[in-house]
Amino acid sequence: MWRNTDDGYGLVAVVLHWLVAVVVVGLFVLGLWMVELTYYDVWYRRSTDIHKGVGFLLFFVVLARLAWRLVNPRPVPEPTHTRLERVAAAVTHVLFYVLLFAVMTAGYLISTADGRAIDVFGLFKVPATIAGLPGQADIAGDVHLALAIALIVLTVIHSLAALKHHFIDRDRTLLRMLGRRTPRPSRSSADSRRGA
């Protein structure tokens, strides 16, 4: 199934979710590693080019995911989800998008601070629309790192919540984002699992 249904996420949503997750974690690890390289290291320029290129392509993937989310209804929440959990999930998803776009904007400001365009793997170039501001690279760099750390912290919390739903609540939250479609439990059976 390509599209979401009341019972689960479709293939498009699942692929976009995990693609963004893997790329964000990968870029974070790469970013921490590349700032420790010296000017004469063979990976000094290469790692930066990869980080910039993948980061810019991620921008389009996140846009696609947001667009798909807007035109494709989300599955019905699990019976085990409390009102607080539903509100927390909604706030978390908004924060994810805000942080993703903010991190990428800060990265763009770092990369274009000297007025040069960003070369995306030789496919195309992204022009520098904002450049030469006082301390642009340093300030944007600090903001980029702080936002990236916040994004990873939010990712960890999100992951722990998914594991809590899977192992403690024993509901289908994690399975649905893995593309698994299982029968919806009744409210009474969900309550009995929670000891209600």
Q: Would residue 190 count as lying in a domain?
A: no
Number of separate domains in the chain: 1
Q: Would residue 1 count as lying in a domain?
A: no
Q: What would the pLDDT profile of 103-137 be if each residue is shown by its tens digit? A: 999 999 999 999 999 999 999 999 999 999 999 99
**SS3 category, 164:** helix
Output DSSP code: residue 41. S
Q: Would residue 3 count as lying in a domain?
A: no
The average pLDDT across 156-174 equals 96
Q: Which domain holds residue 67?
A: 11-181
Q: What would the pLDDT profile of 17-57 be if each residue is shown by its tens digit? A: 999 999 999 999 999 999 999 999 999 999 999 999 999 99
Q: Quick one: residue 4, left, alpha or beta (phi over 0 = left, psi -120 to 50 = alpha)?
A: beta
Q: Would residue 194 count as lying in a domain?
A: no
Q: Would residue 139 count as lying in a domain?
A: yes
Which residues are CB-contacts of 106 (< 8 A; sequence separation ≥ 6)?
Answer: 140, 141, 143, 144, 147
Q: Would residue 80 count as lying in a domain?
A: yes
Q: What are the backbone dihedrals phi and psi of residue 102, each rounded to the nearest 5 degrees, phi first?
A: -70, -45
What's the mean per-residue pLDDT of the chain?
Answer: 92
What CATH number does residue 109 fall under?
1.20.950
Output DSSP code: residue 118. E
